Structure 1
Amino acid sequence: MPFTLATWNINSVRLREPIVLKLLQEEAPDVLCLQECKSPVDKIPLEGFAALGYTHMIARGQKGYNGVAILSKLPIKEVGSEDFAALGHARHIAGQLENGVTIHNFYVPAGGDLPDREVNEKFGQKLDYLTEMRDWFHGAAPEKAILVGDLNIAPREDDVWDHKKLLKIVSHTPIEVEHLAQVQDAGNWVDITRQDIPEGLLYSWWSYRAKDWVAADKGRRLDHVWATGDIANAGHGSRVLRDARGWEKPSDHAPVFASFDL
């Protein structure tokens, strides 16, 4: 069953419902994983999504913050969610398609501004969250699974606009990159985006602070699509829909796509 999947930090699904609908109409992925929905589940605007064929949804939500959802044309059943680091945040939801593929949708904490857990509690929470992700996947090795989401880390030198300048900036510090690598190793995860696009600068996030984000192009690849080793070879067609960063009232993230022949 071939299918195409997209992941997108939407930065408020209600505020940006028009561009979610635009994406669904123009790109028509079979599955769309959203992060930072900033909405209780019962307030997510399902009617417009369902009218376009996205009649299945699983989600975790909370008012004004965090939140993850999976919209799908394909039947999907919820198979769990985890509150890593006991933060009480809606940051993970997992669903299973009828072909047995499990999709994990994550919104990893951003980590605040200072990469020092002694003075920045949020940075410590981010590292603890990643550590518990690692331990969880060690304890229950995933099979036939895809992990997507805003992982809030750009791991490679060519995942950021300037590696040296960002080494002490949250999202690209060596300790974060190491923690993410441990999560990846624990689940035997393969970075599908970089499997398909192995070389070159690649970004999925551009700050709102840039007056002209296109000209500055100071991006980071914070959004990821991974798959377990047993199905990684089925992944292909990865791309970042950069144009979406320039849509009306945009998110600061662009959607990341991949297709799977399973």
Structure 2
Amino acid sequence: MRGPASGAPGRLTFASLGSGSKGNATLVSDGETHLLVDCGFGLREAERRLARLGLHPRQLDALLVTHEHGDHVRGVGPLARRHGVPVYLTPGTWLSRRLGELPHRHWITPQARFAVKGLVIDPVTVPHDAREPVQFCITGVGQRLGLLTDLGHPSAHVVEAFAGCDGLVLECNHDPRMLAEGPYPASLKRRVGGDWGHLANGQAAWLLQRLGLDRLQRIVCSHLSEHNNRPELALEALVPLLDGDESRLRVAAQDDGLAWQTLD
């Protein structure tokens, strides 16, 4: 079975293999070029989740890596070695030594645009507690998709870089009250809620308001914490910005991911 990304040339589509503290991976395609952004699942699980979305790993043209944390890179090396997928990453991410041998390795320079076949990628430096983290804006067939997770705070640089997107995958990691009252040790609570950790629901709403909503066809709440957030809380924070219209909002779940979304 082939998913919409394999059979819808002329449209920018994206899907999630799963999103959360146990693993993250996002597919982006224009129908001809297929990118996987991060792979935080083990090899067999990644293959299974790709198949669920209608793709075989050998159909991937590139694997883009945002940073070296395990929930984003667990399956990068195994997938690249087994199926010969080219990997794009920053030198800082590579120097973490968490990916093993990569047969086809390409350097990413933050703020330096590059292309993989028909898709143009802008890597954007973000505040997060990793060696050289980036997030991505991906443009193809006249549409622009922002992938913006693992963000400690919505810096002015991020606001400028991600303005004008047609689709946005946006971190809604935690509810501050749930984080404060939850099971994490104090040091981890400070890390998650700090300026180099993860976005709270309210911060995501603030950022979304600054980015503007006129062009946004799809807004996907992603990287929700299993212990410190709930989908209804993330949606509750964003819905008021849309005058109560939830039709543009989706949630990328940890287990089920998110089915293919199409930008017009």
Q: TM-score, normalised by structure 1?
A: 0.48
Q: TM-score, normalised by structure 2?
A: 0.48
